[in-house]
Amino acid sequence: MDARKSFKICCIATLVILVIFIVILVILYFTILKPKQPEVVAKPLGLSNFHFSLQPNVSLSLCIRMQISIKNPNYARFEYGNSTAYLYYFGSSVGDAPIGAGVIHARSTANLTTVVNVAADKVISNPNFLPDVFRGSLSLTTASTMEGKVVLLGILRLHAKDHIACMTSVFVWKGNSSSSCISEIKL
């Protein structure tokens, strides 16, 4: 009977230790390791190849140089593949920008620089173009999805998608722009 009693005590002790370990992991997940949304700031570095004219015909050509800062507040790094950011003007696609593969390390900020080439003919042919020009501002939307892996403690790898949307205003008379962005990560 002593062997049986020892076996029961060993099983109970193992079960208690396992339950304590699981409780600790759950507490860690919901307090420290719970995924948080990255903070995205798109800062226009300026306009290049900017040309706007009303005479003899309405014409527009521009490239927007952007620096996208992504702050990762998580305890896991995000490894992402090549992606593309798409530029829209009133729902119509008017440009794109490549985003090269990279890594955003845990609790750090990554700065990505890209150039958005704007298809000026699509912008000009939009019926909202001239009213926007007379107001002095073109309202553009940028959308991008970055797919990759979240790597936690170098062991756990989870598939993740980061959806980024930015509203950019191009001030045609001043020749500059401003942006605001939101980001949502899905595991």
**Same-domain pairing of 126 and 180:** yes
Provide the terminal-to-terminal Cα distance of the chain, rounded to the nearest Å: 51
pLDDT score recorded for residue 19: 95
- H/E stretch holding 88 reads strand 83-89
CA atoms within 13 A on the CB side of 105: 2
Which residue bears the tokens 């990762």? 72
Residue 23 vs residues 18, 33, 75, 147: alpha-carbon distances, Å: 9, 14, 19, 31
**Same-domain pairing of 30 and 114:** no
Whether the bond into 127 is cis, omega within 30 of 0: no
**Same-domain pairing of 43 and 57:** yes
Q: What is the pLDDT of residues 28-48, one digit of tens each?
A: 877 777 777 777 777 767 667
**Same-domain pairing of 85 and 161:** yes
**Same-domain pairing of 128 and 63:** yes
Residue range(s) defining the domain that contains residue 59: 35-186
| 51 compared with 172, residue with greater pLDDT | 172
* Total domains present in the chain: 2
Three-class SS of residue 89?
strand
**Same-domain pairing of 90 and 110:** yes
**Same-domain pairing of 14 and 85:** no
Q: What is the pLDDT of residues 96-145, one digit of tens each?
A: 888 888 898 989 999 888 888 888 778 888 999 889 888 888 888 888 88
**Same-domain pairing of 66 and 146:** yes
| 86 compared with 173, residue with greater pLDDT | 86
**Same-domain pairing of 112 and 178:** yes
**Same-domain pairing of 49 and 3:** no
